[in-house]
Amino acid sequence: MSDFIGTGWGFPTGVGGTGGIALVRGDTELVQAMRLILSTYPGERPMRPDFGCRLRDFVFRAATDDTIAELTGEVRRALLRWEPRVDVKGLTVRPDADDPSVLYIEIAYASKGTNDHRNLVFPFYTIPDDPESDY
């Protein structure tokens, strides 16, 4: 499995125990790659202008059923396009019960070619419209 997944630079970039670039392998590599995809907005990388996910488009939107459906579709499209080493088995976006400004993106996935099912929960923070604000 590790041959298929490969090895990559740790993120954030750091120094390893031998003084070289810190590397990650296996599931850690996949988790960091998926987090990087979700955290990068298309256009941020000059040499790969389409890379990333348009999560920022949802920052100022209320956590309605329509927003959650659109956000789910955007995350699914980004992961299917940019992370070919995983099969996305399930994707759920749910609001935090106590804080309406937080949406949890729950990704159930398996490394392709294995039966190793895992989950990644990616918190997404919004700035909902506050009717009592003085702005």
**What total number of domains does the chain contain?**
1
Could you tell me which of 120, 90, 93, 89 has the C-alpha nearest to residue 105? 93
Domain assignment present for 33: yes
Domain assignment present for 134: no
**CATH code at position 21:** 3.10.450.40
Q: Which residues of the chain have pLDDT under 50?
A: 1-2, 133-135
Domain hosting 9: range is 2-125
| 37-64 per-residue burial string, b: 16 or more CB within 10 A, e: under 16 | bbebeeeeeeeeeebbbebeebeebebe
